[in-house]
């Protein structure tokens, strides 16, 4: 099984709250390899490409605004089954109901309707990972 790569983002809420180190510690403890890492302030065009699948949904505009509210940390992450594995570390989308022990479950706060403030992004398939890595790196 060849080593897989995924795109991880520590989103603006994670960076602003000083949780980048705690999140990286979990990623490294799991044994995944940091291939590349950078602090990014994405413009709208970059985010429109990244979130193209969500265009037209009610949370799309607030999501883009949130993602432009401050820097994110973009990570090219490698490891065996890292796409599925990182999403397992991250927990489910809504931080209120994400399981304890996950990044979103342990650090995510109840933001009411602001589900978008859930600390991290992880690609959801090999196709998404290839597409998203090309956008951010
Ligand atoms: P995930 O980030 O778990 O892959 P997703 O791809 O379905 O989730 O959605 C992308 C982001 O959009 C997600 O991290 C937070 C936001 N989002 C998703 N569903 C939402 C909703 N119902 N209300 C507000 N924001 C939402
Ligand atoms: Mg997604």
DSSP letter at 124? -
Q: Which of 117, 120, 121, 122 is the catalytic position?
A: 121
Gap between the Cα atoms of 8 and 121, Å rounded: 5
pTM over 0.90: yes
Strands (E), the chain: 4-10, 33-40, 72-79, 120-122
For 73-128, how does the pLDDT look when each residue is reduced to its tens digit (9 = 90+)?
999 999 999 999 999 999 999 999 999 999 999 999 876 656 689 999 999 999 99
Instruction: Tell me, yes or no, if 50 is annotated catalytic.
Output: no
Q: 22, 2, 10: which is closest to 122 by C-alpha? A: 10
Mutating to test ligand 1, I would choose from 59, 88, 117 the residue with most ligand atoms within 8 A of its C-beta, which is: 59
At the topology level, CATH places domain 4-136 in: Alpha-Beta Plaits (3.30.70)
Taking each continuous run of H as one helix and of E as one strand, the counts in the chain are 7, 4
ipTM, interface predicted TM-score of the complex: 0.97
């Amino acid at each position: 099984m060849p080593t897989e790569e995924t795109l991880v983002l520590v989103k603006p809420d994670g960076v602003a709250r000083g949780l980048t180190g705690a999140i990286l510690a979990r990623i490294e403890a799991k044994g995944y390899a940091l291939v590349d890492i950078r602090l990014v302030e994405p413009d709208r065009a970059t985010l429109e490409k990244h979130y193209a699948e969500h265009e037209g949904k009610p949370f799309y505009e607030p999501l883009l605004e949130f993602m432009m509210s401050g820097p994110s940390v973009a990570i090219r992450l490698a490891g065996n089954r890292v796409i599925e594995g990182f999403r397992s570390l991250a927990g489910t989308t809504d931080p209120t109901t994400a399981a304890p022990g996950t990044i979103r479950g342990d650090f995510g706060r109840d933001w009411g309707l602001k589900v978008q403030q859930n600390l991290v992004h992880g690609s959801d398939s090999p196709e998404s990972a290839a597409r998203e890595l090309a956008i951010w790196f």
